[in-house]
Amino acid sequence: MPFLEDMKVGLRRELGTFTFTAEAIKIFAREFDPQPFHLDEEAGRNSLFGGLVASGWHVASVCMKLIVADGVRARQEVEARGEEFGTGGPSPGFRDLRWLKPVFAGDTLTYSGEIVSVRATASRPGWGIVQSKNVAVNQRGEEVYSFIGSVFLPQRSDRN
Amino acid sequence: MPFLEDMKVGLRRELGTFTFTAEAIKIFAREFDPQPFHLDEEAGRNSLFGGLVASGWHVASVCMKLIVADGVRARQEVEARGEEFGTGGPSPGFRDLRWLKPVFAGDTLTYSGEIVSVRATASRPGWGIVQSKNVAVNQRGEEVYSFIGSVFLPQRSDRN
């Protein structure tokens, strides 16, 4: 893995967890999203969120961090078995990104990805596109973030 | 501004510029997107990008930073004229986010937003939704990033 042939709809990977401390929320917000409810507890309490909340772009960027780390882990697992690792191409994008609920200071999100479609590409022989739904769930079991990402993967059959 | 009535399709605001230095690209990538072509010039040259490139989430987060700063500026302009500033509600989301071309180290992006639709909301009397297409263009005149964002704005007619 990951070659196209190894990817099956329903296959799921835990991507990891991340705790959004007040400090991490404010550091990101000061640089990229300096709205009062991302910068200050009191302003957060007085906002419609009712508390200090993370920028949605922070929640999304942490997901990217975990996806990249999971890719490194996946490669190590495969190489530890002495198998070849199919290196994917660039992402052709994503769709349906949703910030479903606020992420409050102190919340721990668990991110995971599940394959929702696998298909060979007519335009790029020897390759295919895999779509995964990536989701973050907080410690109360609420889904707070999701998007459907795509990645190009090589077909093993074309290489051997 | 911004009340719903002040928003017209085609109205455009310059959001500002940002230069993606190699240092800024690497700092963001180390924390949120540690792929080789975001971390190292040599790895970038050997990638299909042909150079060190910024994470797409970095390009998006900088856009958010400039949108927030523009909101502060818009408020100051209105208040300097002694007029009331309509405070918007939370964003109901965005769609059609596109990373159209790579952003290389040293590129300067100019971000702007243009209103593409304005409508009253049946479900929230006294309010409306404004959609803007936000775009980033590099110093070569190439569009590299865009998305359509939405914001709730109050109607002036309901307040006076």
Structure tokens at B99: 């990373």
Structure tokens at A23: 């400090």
- The yes-or-no verdict on residue B86 having pLDDT over 90 is no
What does the pLDDT read at residue A106?
98
Q: List residues of A whose CB lies inside 8 A of any B CB.
A: 31-35, 48, 55, 57, 60-62, 64-65, 68-69, 89-90, 93-94, 97-99
Q: What is the pLDDT of residues A89-146, one digit of tens each?
A: 767 778 889 999 999 999 999 999 999 999 998 888 889 999 999 999 999 999 999 9
How are beta strands A94-99 and A108-120 bridged, if at all? unpaired
Cα–chain center distance at B81? 26
* Average pLDDT, rounded, for chain B: 92
Res. B99 pLDDT band, cuts 50 70 90: very high
Q: Which residue of B has its CA nearest to A33?
A: B65
Structure tokens at B90: 């939370």
- Mean pLDDT over B120-127 rounds to 88
Structure tokens at B22: 């190699």
Percent of chain B with pLDDT over 90: 70
Q: What is the pLDDT of residues A22-70, one digit of tens each?
A: 999 999 999 999 999 999 999 999 998 999 999 999 999 999 999 999 9
- The yes-or-no verdict on residue A159 having pLDDT over 70 is no
Contacts of A71 (CB under 8 A, 6+ apart): none
Say how many CA atoms lie within 13 Å of B135 toward its Cβ.
14
Q: How far apart are CA A68 and CA A47, in angstroms?
A: 34
- The yes-or-no verdict on residue A157 having pLDDT over 80 is no
Ordered DSSP codes for chain A: --SGGG--TT-EEEEEEEE--HHHHHHHHHHH---HHHH-HHHHHTSTT-S-B--HHHHHHHHHHHHHHHHHHHHHHHHHTT---PPP-----EEEEEE-S--BTT-EEEEEEEEEEEEE-SSSTTEEEEEEEEEEE-TTS-EEEEEEEEEEEE-GGGT-
Res. B160 pLDDT band, cuts 50 70 90: very low
Q: What is the ipTM score, two decimals?
A: 0.86
What does the pLDDT read at residue A160?
45
Question: Residue A58: which of A102, A88, A93, A96 has the closest Cα?
Answer: A102
Least confident of A2-6, A104-108, B14-18: A2-6
CB contact at 8 A, A150 and A94: yes
Chain A residue numbers touching B60 (CB-CB < 8 A)? 57, 60
How are beta strands B94-99 and B143-154 bridged, if at all? antiparallel
Burial class (CB in 10 A: 0-12, 13-18, 19+), B160: exposed
- The yes-or-no verdict on residue B155 having pLDDT over 50 is yes
Largest pairwise CA distance in chain B: 62
Please name every residue paired with A1 in a beta bridge, in sequence order, or none if there are none: none
Chain B residue numbers touching A33 (CB-CB < 8 A)? 61, 64-65, 68
Q: Number of A:B CB contacts under 8 A?
A: 50
Chain A residue numbers touching B31 (CB-CB < 8 A)? 61, 65
Q: How far apart are CA A145 and CA A135, in angstroms?
A: 6
**Bond prior to A36 in cis (omega within 30° of 0):** no
**Bond prior to B2 in cis (omega within 30° of 0):** yes
Task: Enter the CATH code of domain A4-158.
Answer: 3.10.129.10
**Could you tell me the residue ranges of all domains in chain A?**
4-158
